[in-house]
A = this chain, B = another copy of it.
Amino acid sequence: MPRSLAIKPFLRVLAGERQSVPPIWLMRQAGRYLPEYRAIREKASGFLDLCFDPQRAAEITLQPIRRFGFDAAILFSDILVVPHALGQRVTFEEGEGPRLDALKEPGALKSLARELDHSRLESVYETIIRVKQNLPPAVAFLGFCGAPWTLATYMIAGVGTTDQLPARLFAYRFPDAFAELIDILVEASASYLTRQFAAGVDAVQIFDTWAGVLPADEFRKWCIEPCARIVAKVRERVREAPIIGFPRGAGTELGCYLQGVAVNAVGIDWTAELAFVRDRIQTLRPVQGNLDPLALLVGGAALDRSIDGILQAFSRGPLIFNLGHGVLPDTPIAHVEQLVARVRGQPAHA
């Protein structure tokens, strides 16, 4: 066992070991709910500039580790740096989310590079190097990318959507062009994750945030198969690379996903049925999740009940404690402290 694995509980779980105290980190743990993040954010000219500023991105990555002592740090970045490094124009409008030059029809794919321009991502790799130098030895370092389907929903719509209709429509109308886009994103994502490992991350997570809107056949074609190819390609270059998959909203299809995608662990969203995940998913692979972000925002007894339900349901197998989706911006710091203390069985601050 490599030395880093031996002392990082997070990596031990990814290797399949149950830990008596589950390691914990939170999706979007570096973000707007933290005053120290907001202080940096206010001074930055734009969100993407922040992602591409190694000094500040590294600082933001480390903030929640210092404050809460989480077991994993996740790179502060955004999934849309990949379309950016494929030549698509990406901006973030203040308070309005991302804006991209939408790929409205198959011809628009010509504007995309076939290979990732790593020079546009050097600052991300530089951030990884900086974080790595400053991370406590027991804390794992997690890189990430968006899954091809989820990236495609933004690249085709040009904005975030609630129903992912433009991409779903494109995929039905132009299946060959859509498959071509997915192929480009598979190559780019594998290449990007490989470079993240080379720069120093211990593991990566593939976020398929919008996997849940796909009908079963499309779920196989646009979520399972592309993610399986990314995992295989990364492992060709980084032997036994630890990878977490997060096909949000996959529901009953979590089992198919794990049959198809050789991830080390799988993220579970907050709507999943605990008994189903315990009996049919945790028996296949370690699970990560799945606290309702709203329970964390509300705090109090509702939070305690939700935490205890998850700890109890998943006590028999390997678990990484996390939310079922990102931290909400209005979440009080004290509730995160309450969560960490309860998961670790420590008395909460009075």
Q: Which of A18-26, A65-73, A294-302 contacts B (4 or more CB under 8 A)?
A: A294-302
List residues 235-293 of chain A with CB under 8 A from any CB of chain B.
Answer: 249, 251-253, 256, 270-276, 292
**Bound: A253/B269 CA distance, A:** 14
A297 lies within 8 A of B169 (CB): yes
Q: Which of A28-36, A95-103, A213-221 contacts B (4 or more CB under 8 A)?
A: A213-221
Is A329 interfacial (CB-CB < 8 Å)? Answer: no
* Residue numbers in B under 8 Å from A297 (CB-CB): 169
Is A162 interfacial (CB-CB < 8 Å)? Answer: yes
The total of chain A residues at the interface (CB under 8 A) is 36
* Residue numbers in B under 8 Å from A195 (CB-CB): none
The answer to whether A172 and B302 touch (CB under 8 A), given A162-B162, A212-B271, A217-B309, is yes
A248 to chain B, nearest CB (A): 12
A224 to chain B, nearest CB (A): 12
Residue positions of A touching B, CB distance < 8 A: 162, 165, 168-169, 172-173, 175, 212-217, 219, 249, 251-253, 256, 270-276, 292, 294-295, 297-298, 302, 305-306, 309, 324
- Closest 7 CB pairs between A and B? A251-B251, A252-B276, A162-B162, A172-B298, A252-B273, A172-B302, A216-B273
Interface of A is mostly: helix
A251: which of B175, B213, B252, B295 is its contact (CB, 8 Å)? B252
A32 to chain B, nearest CB (A): 16
Known: A216-B271, A252-B273; 4 extra A-B contacts, CB below 8 A, are A172-B298, A173-B298, A215-B324, A249-B251
B271 lies within 8 A of A214 (CB): yes
**Bound: A143/B173 CA distance, A:** 35
The answer to whether A294 and B253 touch (CB under 8 A), given A271-B212, A309-B217, is no
B252 lies within 8 A of A272 (CB): yes
User: How many identical chains are in the complex?
Assistant: 2
A271: which of B251, B256, B324 is its contact (CB, 8 Å)? B251
Closest to A212 in B: B271
A172: which of B253, B295, B309 is its contact (CB, 8 Å)? B295
A273: which of B165, B256, B298 is its contact (CB, 8 Å)? B256
A165 lies within 8 A of B252 (CB): no
The answer to whether A169 and B294 touch (CB under 8 A), given A215-B306, A251-B252, A309-B217, is yes
* Residue numbers in B under 8 Å from A253 (CB-CB): 273, 276
* Residue numbers in B under 8 Å from A169 (CB-CB): 294, 297-298
A33 to chain B, nearest CB (A): 15
A271 lies within 8 A of B249 (CB): yes
* Residue numbers in B under 8 Å from A276 (CB-CB): 252-253
Closest to A325 in B: B163
**Bound: A341/B13 CA distance, A:** 53
* Residue numbers in B under 8 Å from A249 (CB-CB): 251, 271
A237 to chain B, nearest CB (A): 33
**Bound: A115/B272 CA distance, A:** 35
